[in-house]
A = this chain, B = another copy of it.
Amino acid sequence: MNLIWLDGRLSEGIAANDRGLAYGDGLFETIRVSDGQPRLFERHLQRLAEGCRRLQIPCDMAGLRYEVQVFASTLGEGVCKLILTRGSGLRGYAPPQPCQPRRLLIGSAVPLYSADRARTGICLFPCITRLAEQPLLAGLKHLNRLEQVLARAEWQDSVHAEGLMRDTSGRIVEAVFSNIFLVRSGRLFTPELARCGVAGVMRAEIIERAREAKIPVDIRDISFSELLQADEVFLCNSQYGVWPVKAMQEHTWPVGPLTFELQGLLSDLMGIT
């Protein structure tokens, strides 16, 4: 296994009674590390803090920030997966009072994706698994991810790089491990994520940089037919950046100029890959 720190010390395992295992009672972040630096770090910490607030998990964010920085400089190049759980508990759902959250940092190599994906686009698999609508958990990167596991198990081929996920009402939400954007008449559109979905850090970065570049961004519900009618479609996450979507089954989209413009706007982040 790779480099693992548990609460700041080298470790290989986690307590059997941890509530992260028992209930998925915790949060995670998958942070790209380059040149010993955690990338998009403020956004990762911000989302984690928001998750802690909503799940009422106490967290020393200053201590965690320092620990991830030291871990990243040890790792050098790769991916740092940070898992924060509510810690050990007795039997029963009631959160222990007081609770002692547990921090797990797992380092691994940068995933190898073909550069073609970013240039010529990817094929999207239309997942049958729908996302349940739970506003209390929407937007968070929490440890309850069985829907993503089921969705990702729907295809085994290497033709499809990602899978489209809709909510139980049929709206477009995201992809299994990415967020989704549409382009229409020079504007960007991305789902609101108020009922389900993960509010990705790269999504937030794209929204901000697009607006700085005077590209309008609308954050709202998106229907399946709007997806099909889009001029361009692309996916994003903090590891690979931006992938144009060229096809989903028989439907195709052009890999277009606004997607490439955004890749350009993010190139400082993606220089290494």
Contacts and interface: CB of A to CB of B under 8 A. Distances in A.
Interface in A144-181: 144-153, 156, 168, 176-177
A142 B146 CA distance: 9
Interface in A1-41: 1, 4, 6, 11-25, 28, 30
A12 B1 contact: no
Contact of A16 (B14, B17, B132, B147): B14
Interface string A235-262: 0000000000000000000000000000
A4 B22 CA distance: 14
Given A129-B136, A150-B55, A152-B93, A21 B23 contact: no
A6 B1 contact: no
A70 interface: no
Given A134-B132, A134-B168, A150-B136, A20 B21 contact: yes
A140 B85 CA distance: 23
Interface stretch (A103-111, A182-190, A200-208, A212-220): A103-111
A147 B146 CA distance: 14
Interface in A85-139: 85-86, 91-95, 97, 104, 106, 108, 111, 129-130, 132-134, 136-137
Interface of A: 1, 4, 6, 11-25, 28, 30, 55-56, 79, 81, 83, 85-86, 91-95, 97, 104, 106, 108, 111, 129-130, 132-134, 136-137, 142-153, 156, 168, 176-177, 196
12 contacts: A1-B16, A14-B18, A16-B104, A22-B28, A24-B144, A55-B146, A79-B91, A86-B149, A93-B152, A137-B146, A137-B147, A143-B146
